[in-house]
Structure 1
Amino acid sequence: MSRAIRLWLLVLGLLIGAARAEAACTGETYEGNDYTVCRFDLREDHLQLFSLDDKGEPYGSFSALSLALADKGESLSFGMNAGMYGEDLKPIGLYIEDAKTLHKLNRRNGPGNFHMKPNGVFFIDGDTGGVMETEAFAASGIRPQFASQSGPMLVVDGKIHPKFSVDGTSLQRRNGVGAPDDHTLIFVISEDWVNFHSFASLFKDKLGCPNALFLDGSISSLHAPDMARSDGFALLGPIVALAKGP
């Protein structure tokens, strides 16, 4: 083998290795269930939240958001539905985008997963971020650049939500977000139908997240070009995304 070929193979190997290192999402298995786990270091990955386009209409899909970003010379390298919303696809809880509060914190009681207290907020502020129970977030005084409220919390201060049962019979394809530290957010989507307790246990015991938040079920969607995947089977409300320039 010539020296030139060996050098070319070395460079190719380094490029492949770098591409793998940059891949945010990986397939993982926990307690017999398959998940896609996407890890982001906020010191390097500038995640954002998107809800309404320039005309004030919900994006509603990864494809619509991708087109809007393309007009700005950017590409969508990651996307996931990011919190619960109403029939108009607009958030029903706290929603902050570019430091503007578009919907205030929702502390009301009511039916459904969102109101299964405690619910919570995930937020991004520059190179830091986190997940907090709603009342703790309200008391913290944090004014982040981006935030979305959803519910229920999956893990609160290292403990699984008290209303979850190991033998829970409500099985769904679910997605959520956890924060193992102040600079990292981990987004997960289940590839199998799982109950709340199993999903929460993944964040607590495998991913090391003392706080984690349920984002939604059944409509749970992921855009991950590195995995040749862009779900488009349901209309979406708020989207958490990583946009990259040319």
Structure 2
Amino acid sequence: MRSLRPRALLAAALLSALTACSGAGGLAVERVEAGGRLYTVAVVDLRRDTLRLHWKDPATGEPYRTLRAVRERMGRTGQNVGFATNSGIYAPGPRPLGLHVENGRTLVNVNNARSGGNFALLPNGVFWVKGERAGVTETQAYRRLNVAPTYATQSGPLLVQGGRLHPAFNRGGTSFKVRSGVGVCRDGQVRFVVSAGPVNFYTFAVFFRDTLGCPDALYLDGSISAYATPGTDTQFADFAGIWTVSR
């Protein structure tokens, strides 16, 4: 359920047409270059933007699967989605592999797996949102936090924790893939990132920490990762959890 085909050329073509969209300090979708690599970065201000997590269409009980389906449903109720992207790693169904909280309801519980792919490359963590607050918290620390979030997703590995890179990452890592992640940054804003081409974990984590100023960041998924704006949709595989940003 992971890499389906190379995406560097496709992503580069789509990104070349992307224009930043923003509104009085709210959502901004930007192309950011660092170290010779290009990334799409969505900057979310929770004081002005509405960030939501979706899995199943309440009308059918079935997973949305696509960014387009979520955006169309929200559009029918007058909610204009400025940005959408995949949530964390998932299992067949599609079903979130770890914690999934929507509208304060826990639909999938915390997964304490200690082996099996990137999700269990410990430490992993939880990205959570409650009102104007958001955090990226190591999984066991999250369980002790008792934050009662409105929305939350669990994935792994943690890219950055308290300004420190995951201990398993190294500059010479040979696993290069398109990657997506989310960080909570020093300015208090949330940043979703999708790389335009393959990067290793070390480079991706350093981008969050050093370029975006995010002391805490979580890996979401790999080669299938995608995003949508009003003029762009890069998705080519189904998703379980989907994040949307609207005004």
- CA distance in 2: counterparts of 1:198 and 1:17, whole angstroms: 26
Tell me which residue corresponds to 2:136. Answer: 131
SS of corresponding position for 2:90: coil
| Stretches of structure 2 lacking an aligned partner (at least 5 in a row) | 1-19
Tell me which of 11, 32, 47 is aligned to 1:43: 47
Q: TM-score, normalised by structure 2?
A: 0.87
**% identity of equivalent residues:** 39
Summarize deviations over 1:161-198 as a string: whole Å, max 9, x none: 00011101100000100001484111111002100000
Tell me which of 145, 148, 151 is aligned to 1:146: 151
| TM superposition outliers: structure 1 runs of 4+ over 6 Å | none
Tell me which residue corresponds to 1:165. Answer: 170
- CA distance in 1: counterparts of 2:31 and 2:223, whole angstroms: 19
Correspondence 1:46-61 to 2 at 5 A: 46-54=50-58, 55-61=60-66
> Are 1:34 and 2:38 matched, yes or no?
yes
Matched to 2:30, the amino acid is T
Correspondence 1:63-102 to 2 at 5 A: 63-102=68-107
Tell me which residue corresponds to 2:243. Answer: 240
SS of corresponding position for 1:67: helix
Summarize deviations over 1:210-239 as a string: whole Å, max 9, x none: 1100000001100122xx211221111101
Correspondence 1:175-190 to 2 at 5 A: 175-181=180-186, 183-190=188-195
| Stretches of structure 1 lacking an aligned partner (at least 5 in a row) | 1-15
Summarize deviations over 1:30-88 as a string: whole Å, max 9, x none: 11111111111101111000010012111000111122112222222210101111111
Instruction: Indicate the structure (1 or 2) with the bigger Cα radius of gyration.
Output: 1
Summarize deviations over 1:132-175 as a string: whole Å, max 9, x none: 11111111111110000010000011100000111011000001
Q: CA RMSD in A?
A: 1.9
SS of corresponding position for 1:110: coil
Question: Please, which moves more after superposition, 160-169 or 22-31?
Answer: 22-31
Aligned residues: 227
Q: TM-score, normalised by structure 1?
A: 0.88
Tell me which residue corresponds to 2:4. Answer: none
